Homo-oligomer: A and B are copies of this chain.
Amino acid sequence: MRSQTYNFCSGPATLPTAVLSKAQAELLDWQKMGVSIMEISHRSPEFTAVAKKAEQSLRQLMSIPDDYAVLFMQGGATQQFSGVPMNFFGLCEGKQAGYVDTGIWSRKALDEAGRYVDARLVASSKDSNYTRLPESWALDEKLAYVHYTPNETIGGVEFPHIPDVGDIPLIADMSSTILSRPIDVSKFALIYAGAQKNIGPAGLTLVIVRRDLLDATPHSALPPTMNYRLFDENDSMLNTPPTFGWYLAWLIFDWLIEAGGLTAMGEVNSRKSARLYNYLDASDVYHNPIHPEARSWMNVPFVLKDESRNAAFLKFAEEHGLLNLKGHRSVGGMRASLYNAMPEAGVDALIDVLTKFAES
């Protein structure tokens, strides 16, 4: 059955079949130990070796500079909406935390930050109904950091390059764009990402942070399980981490390295999305509302010009093995998520089904 489907879920998203097959083969007996990787202590030499290898593979893939800590945490990106301002509370004293608003997720991050620090909008594309990138940015020396969302998973809006904020520390929620192409980590103060798109299963959260920022005085009520410095000091094992997710992330990092790394993935992902956008733009039946300069490689929302046929389309797609194309409950329509584990053949199959349905 699996070989007859393509899964366009926005997250928890499709994972590489090769990785799942390996995990399946060794699920009950890992490395001939007679136990599952899920059943050993996170402090055992066997698991700490996995943990280290995962970090090394990620550092290699993303060319993460040595002065950045890589943390494996829990709670999802949503927990980081609180974690960023709480950890950087001291940085924000007498200053402001700047947020760029490009849609639902960046807005949530702003609203949450305002509970802890003086948070303000520095740019917004709301005027365009979030179909473009923000035009004017209000940057000044009062900003302790600038937070933005490189890819809005729901809106399908993506920054094609890293915004220039000068010397202001730049923080990014990369949940749905991390590992999709090469990224210059040195341009960032902090990157965070929920795992359930390009990294692994839900329940693991990555934080990549420049170590000098760990000296910032945190909010007095910051829970230890959200404290970057404590996680760095304890190799992300302050308490029991989500070991199975960490192991799967390692397998995925190595799958990406074998596939040619992020340069190769970037080329594939660029091709995949371009092919779909080109088809949608040429169509009289379908429509993607996002301005070409802001279109996401990862999440392609689209609507039928005749919206009464949405349900019929989704049913037709499912009958052809194309799963989870329904748009987010807040916007409706359709959405095709094209993360790393979605092969080019999946996009071809989608275009084929779009064509057949248009003709029907």
Chain B residues contacting A36 (CB-CB under 8 Å) are 15, 20
Q: How far is the CB of A353 from chain B (nearest CB, A)?
A: 15
- Chain A interface residue number, banded: 35 or more
Contact of A240 among B81, B202, B238, B323 (CB under 8 A): B202
Tell whether A24 pairs with B27 under 8 Å between CB atoms, given A7-B35, A12-B41, A12-B240.
yes
Chain B residues contacting A32 (CB-CB under 8 Å) are 1
**A48 at interface (Cβ–Cβ under 8 A)?**
no
**A294 at interface (Cβ–Cβ under 8 A)?**
no
| Residue interface mask A263-294, B partner, CB < 8 A = 1 | 00000000000000000000000000000000
Chain B residues contacting A81 (CB-CB under 8 Å) are 224
Chain B residues contacting A203 (CB-CB under 8 Å) are 74, 203-204, 241-245
**A83 at interface (Cβ–Cβ under 8 A)?**
yes
**A28 at interface (Cβ–Cβ under 8 A)?**
yes
Measured in the bound complex, the distance between the Cα atoms of B239 and A1 in whole Å is 30
Chain B residues contacting A24 (CB-CB under 8 Å) are 24, 27-28
Measured in the bound complex, the distance between the Cα atoms of B47 and A123 in whole Å is 37
Interface residues of A in 48-84 (CB under 8 A from B): 74-79, 81-83
Chain B residues contacting A331 (CB-CB under 8 Å) are none
User: Is A78 in contact with B239, judged by CB distance below 8 angstroms?
Assistant: yes
Tell whether A20 pairs with B27 under 8 Å between CB atoms, given A44-B324, A75-B75, A201-B242.
yes
User: Is A76 in contact with B74, judged by CB distance below 8 angstroms?
Assistant: yes
**A310 at interface (Cβ–Cβ under 8 A)?**
no
Chain B residues contacting A83 (CB-CB under 8 Å) are 223
Q: How far is the CB of A23 from chain B (nearest CB, A)?
A: 7
Of listed A13, A241, A245, residue having the most chain B CB within 10 A = A245
**A125 at interface (Cβ–Cβ under 8 A)?**
no
Chain B residues contacting A82 (CB-CB under 8 Å) are 223-225
**A166 at interface (Cβ–Cβ under 8 A)?**
no
Q: How far is the CB of A46 from chain B (nearest CB, A)?
A: 10
Tell whether A34 pairs with B244 under 8 Å between CB atoms, given A78-B239, A83-B223, A224-B112.
no
Chain B residues contacting A28 (CB-CB under 8 Å) are 2, 17, 20-21, 24
What are 6 A-B contacts defined by CB distance under 8 Å?
A1-B33, A44-B324, A75-B75, A203-B204, A203-B244, A244-B244
4 extra interchain contacts, Cβ-Cβ under 8 A, other than A74-B203, A78-B240, A203-B243? A9-B40, A12-B41, A74-B76, A76-B239
Taking Cβ atoms with an 8 Å cutoff, the residues of A that contact B are: 1-2, 4-5, 7, 9-15, 17, 20-21, 23-24, 27-29, 32-36, 38-44, 74-79, 81-83, 86, 112, 115-116, 194, 196, 201-204, 219-226, 238-245, 321, 323-324, 329
